[in-house]
Amino acid sequence: MSQDNGLFIYGIVPSDVEPTADAEGVGSPPGEVSAVRHGELAALVSAVGLDEPLGRPADLTAYERLLDGTAEVAPVLPVRFGTVVTGEDAVADLLDAHHDRFAAALDEFEDRVQYTVHGRFDEPEFIGGMLAANRDAAALADQVRGRTEAQSREQRIRLGEMISQAVELRRESENRDLIDAVGRYAEVDAVRPPSHEMDAVRVAFLVAGDHEDEFIRAVEDFAEQRRELIRMRLIGPLAPYDFVSAHQLAE
Once rounded to an integer, what is the mean pLDDT over residues 55-70?
Answer: 93
User: pTM value?
Assistant: 0.87
Domains in the chain: boundaries: 5-110, 113-243
Task: Say what the pLDDT of residue 51 is.
Answer: 81
What pLDDT, on the 0 to 100 scale, is given for residue 245?
65
Strand 112-121 and strand 84-85: pairing? unpaired
CB–CB of 99/40 below 8 Å?
yes
- DSSP 8-state symbol, 126: H
- pLDDT above 70 as % of the chain: 96
Reported as a single tens digit per residue, the pLDDT across 139-179 is 888 888 877 777 778 888 898 899 999 999 999 999 999 99
Residue 247 has pLDDT above 90, yes or no: no
Average pLDDT, the chain: 91
Query: Taking residues 189-215, what's their average pLDDT?
Result: 96
Counting residues of the chain whose pLDDT is more than 90, the rounded percentage is 76
Residues 6 or more apart whose CB falls under 8 angstroms from that of 166 comprise: 126, 130, 134, 137
pLDDT in the model for residue 191? 96
- Range with top average pLDDT, 46-60, 61-75, 153-167: 61-75
Q: Tally Cβ neighbours within 10 Å of residue 218.
A: 18
